[in-house]
Amino acid sequence: MGTEQSRRNALKTMITGTAILGLSSAIPSYATEMETQNAPLKGNVNHSVCRWCFSDVPLDELCIAVKGMGLKAMDLAGPADWPVLKKHGLYSSMCNGAEINLTDGWNDPAFHPQLIENYKKMIPLVAEAGYKNLICFSGSRRGKTDEEGWNNCVAGLKQVIGLAEQHNVVLVMELLNSKVDHKDYQCDHTAWGAELAKRLGSENFKLLYDIYHMQIDEGDVIHNIRTYHPYIAHYHTAGVPGRNEIDDTQELFYPAIIKAILATGFKGYIAQEFIPKQKDKLQSLRNAIKICDL
């Protein structure tokens, strides 16, 4: 996800709605040529886009635009948004609305009662709507050791994982960097999240590997994707540094990363979660989709 303030503001708006609870100056050198911008997508990648990154675009308009690009899904939409997505034939690839926020999460027993109540309400709603992935967060470390964080998360999540299994819903914990955007967040390395998944021992708990965040905190992106892919249910993209366009202005080479993801046999969604700097934000999104459509 984005900066702490923008992420907080976006989630606050989305959670309230659930009741529960400019053209780029240049096409990147490795992007598809301009004359093929409108070519059909290849079908190897399940593309999605995060709603909050385009929050200034009315949802109906955004749905029409992304459908025109060939996308079939949208990320980080709650129950209030689902009717609009359904109207446009878009899938909610990562649901939200059960979390408290990014800092008060499953690693602290003080928040377990509220989280358990929220997730017990939301899990059936996700299933009834025909969706699968529901986001969750570790929360801030607040002085806890890794062991304390794992133990607390397991104790809390075990109270709802059975319900998730019953409804075929996957609780997906996002990996966020604690170096720049989310100071003190505990699930800030892939190995930490994978260890939590091992301890829970359920196929209904997985990780959201945010490429931007993990490049900042640990790097070695392709190696870690290859190593930990059995625990990963979802991916987010963005450019490093700055969380902007994934073009040749930043340090990551997304074609190689997407190729590595596909090589693991991944069949889930890869969602664009960058904050456009260009005046034509939707053109930036088109460019990003082309870069990632291998």
Write the DSSP assignment of 220-276 as a string of letters. Answer: -HHHHHHHHGGGEEEEEE--TTTS---STTSS--HHHHHHHHHHTT--SEEEE----
What strands, in cross-sheet order, belong to the sheet with 269-272? 46-49, 269-272, 232-237, 205-210, 170-174, 133-136, 91-95, 73-77
Q: Which residues are catalytic?
A: 174, 273
Enclosing H/E stretch for 135 = strand 133-136
Distance CA 14, CA 28 (A): 33
Tell me how far apart the terminal alpha carbons of the chain are, to the nearest angstrom.
24
Distance CA 224, CA 235 (A): 13
Contact 153/116 with Cβ under 8 angstroms? no
Residue whose token pair is 């992420």: 7
Nearest Cα residue to 118 out of 71, 104, 131, 132: 104
Distance CA 66, CA 61 (A): 9
φ, ψ for residue 184 (rounded to 5)? 80, 0
Enclosing H/E stretch for 175 = none
282: which strand partners? Answer: none
Nearest Cα residue to 54 out of 71, 37, 40: 71
